[in-house]
Amino acid sequence: MNSLCYTDFTFIGHIYYVISSLGVLGITKREVNSLDVSAREIDYKAVGFKAGLEIHQELRTSRKLFCHCPPILRSDPPHFTIRRFFRPVLGEMGEFDAAMLAEYEKGRTVIYEGYNDTTCSYEIDETYM
């Protein structure tokens, strides 16, 4: 068998959560991380693997899509930062996203940097409908 490279290791880490959520294998995360397999050797159908692709497009416009702030990329120090913790929520299918649960268990956070003149409440998820 091939040794794990970094990308395979990351992939195997995600497969663990797919496998465990299906109840196929009762192995620990440590055991999964020590597996000596290649991503090419995994039977994706057997483990119930599903994947999606998300594409972002940057448009040349005078304002952002959902607000009137200018779409400016900045490198100056931010006026404020917001730290968000990953929180698992039910998805459209009524189930928790296994990848989000994995990141939540690790205590992952995202730090947003904002500017008083180009970042609005919509962009920081503070707009109420």
Which of 11-20, 36-45, 98-107 is the least confident region?
Answer: 11-20
Tokens of 118: 């180009």
Distance CA 114, CA 122 (A): 12
Contact 88, 100 (CB under 8 A): yes
What integer is the mean pLDDT of 5-25? Answer: 38
- Over the chain, what is the mean pLDDT? 70
pLDDT of residue 3: 32
Residue 33 has pLDDT above 80, yes or no: no
Q: Where are the alpha helices (DSSP H) in the chain?
A: 6-22, 29-33, 98-105
Residue 77 has pLDDT above 90, yes or no: yes
Contact 73, 64 (CB under 8 A): no
Helix (H) or strand (E) holding 110: strand 109-114
* Model confidence band, residue 4 (pLDDT cutoffs 50, 70, 90): very low
Which residue type sits at 99?
A
Q: SS3 string of 13-39?
A: HHHHHHHHHHCCCCCCHHHHHCCCCCH
What integer is the mean pLDDT of 38-60? Answer: 77
* pLDDT one-digit tens code per residue, 84-123: 887 888 888 888 888 788 888 888 888 888 888 888 877 7
Helix (H, G, I), strand (E, B) or coil at 84: strand
Instruction: From residue 63, give the alpha-carbon distance in Å to each of 72, 113, 119, 120.
Output: 9, 19, 11, 12
